[in-house]
Amino acid sequence: SQQGEEDPQALSIQEGENATMNCSYKTSINNLQWYRQNSGRGLVHLILIRSNEREKHSGRLRVTLDTSKKSSSLLITASRAADTASYFCATDAIQGAQKLVFGQGTRLTINP
Amino acid sequence: DTGVSQDPRHKITKRGQNVTFRCDPISEHNRLYWYRQTLGQGPEFLTYFQNEAQLEKSRLLSDRFSAERPKGSFSTLEIQRTEQGDSAMYLCASSLSRVLVGGRSYEQYFGPGTRLTVT
């Protein structure tokens, strides 16, 4: 079963604009990770944010985490055509599990 | 390339046949995971190994599925008597479990996946 939901399910923007994707989850977590998946391929790890962190940056990526609201956001600044992909958040629950639980993903399209 | 490899990349089989997939993790990683992903969905956890020990299995993993990780290196996932509902992308991931102050923290690195089509 999916841990939570990503919003929006699909997003289409112009190259150079910023893209924001949101993720909600249900249980208490150790970490939250964001992954990118190009069509028909494996997942690429983008960034991990720990439950005691509120914001993290990596290049053009900015991730926030609000554990009180059980939500996270991924911001991609100055988008490029190569950013076109599906983006997934994945959580690692505190209770006894080493597995990642994924949302359904946001399909991002960057128009040139 | 994340350093995790999977073989084969694509497999087409007829219903009722057995199939086996292989995953080679990043060499120093002690944890290995299998996930299944159907079209339009996020990956779903199947099972994971710490070294050679299989520590957790999802209810998705029916009796027709078996996974092994001999010697704590590569892993195989076998599906017996395949059904059309088994058609999916099977993803393998590995990680290095490490404990940091304040809790565990690790990233999972995924292979390219094996796409299974059961006809």
Neighbours of A92 (CB within 10 A): 24
Contact A98 B97 (CB under 8 A): yes
Residue A91 has pLDDT above 50, yes or no: yes
pLDDT value of residue A78: 97
- Token pair recorded at residue A100: 């990642």
Residue appearing with tokens 């956001």: A73
pLDDT at B7: 97
pLDDT at A97 over 80: no
Of all residues in chain A, what percent carry a pLDDT higher than 90? 71
**What does the block give as tokens for B116?**
């299974």
Q: Is some CB atom of chain A closer than 8 A to the CB atom of B112?
A: yes
Give kind and range of the element (H or E) at residue B17: none
Instruction: Measure the CA–CA gap between A40 and A34, rounded to whole angstroms.
Output: 18
Amino acid B101: pLDDT: 47
The Cα B96–Cα B108 span in angstroms is: 8
Do the Cβ atoms of A30 and B103 come within 8 Å?
yes
Report yes or no: A65 at the B interface, CB cutoff 8 Å: no
Q: How many whole angstroms separate alpha carbon B46 and alpha carbon A12? A: 32
pLDDT tens for the 119 residues of chain B, in order: 779 999 999 999 999 999 999 999 999 888 999 999 998 899 999 999 988 999 888 888 889 999 999 988 999 999 999 999 999 999 999 988 765 544 555 788 999 999 999 99
Burial label for B105, CB within 10 Å (0-12, 13-18, 19+), is middle
Spell out which residues of chain A touch residue B6, defining contact as CB-CB under 8 Å: 42
- Nearest Cα of chain B lies from the Cα of A101 at a distance, in angstroms, of 7
Question: How far apart (Å, rounded) are the C-alpha atoms in residues A46 and B44?
Answer: 19
pLDDT tens by residue, A43-74: 999 999 988 999 999 999 999 999 999 999 99
**What is the rounded distance in angstroms from the CA atom of residue A39 to the CA atom of residue A111?**
16
DSSP string computed for B37-60: E-TTS--EEEEEEETTEEEEE-TT
CB contact under 8 Å between A98 and B48, yes or no, is yes
Q: Which two tokens stand for residue B96?
A: 């290095």
Both tokens of residue A61? Answer: 């990526």
Do A98 and B55 count as a contact with CB atoms less than 8 A apart?
yes
Which residues 57-76 of B are in CB contact (within 8 Å) with A?
58
Q: State the burial class of residue A91 (Cβ atoms within 10 Å of its Cβ: 0-12, 13-18, 19+).
A: buried
Select the residue from B30, B110, B114, B115 to test the A interface by mutation, using most A Cβ atoms within 10 A: B110
Give B115's contacts (C-beta < 8 A, 6+ positions apart): A40, B9, B10, B11, B88, B89, B90
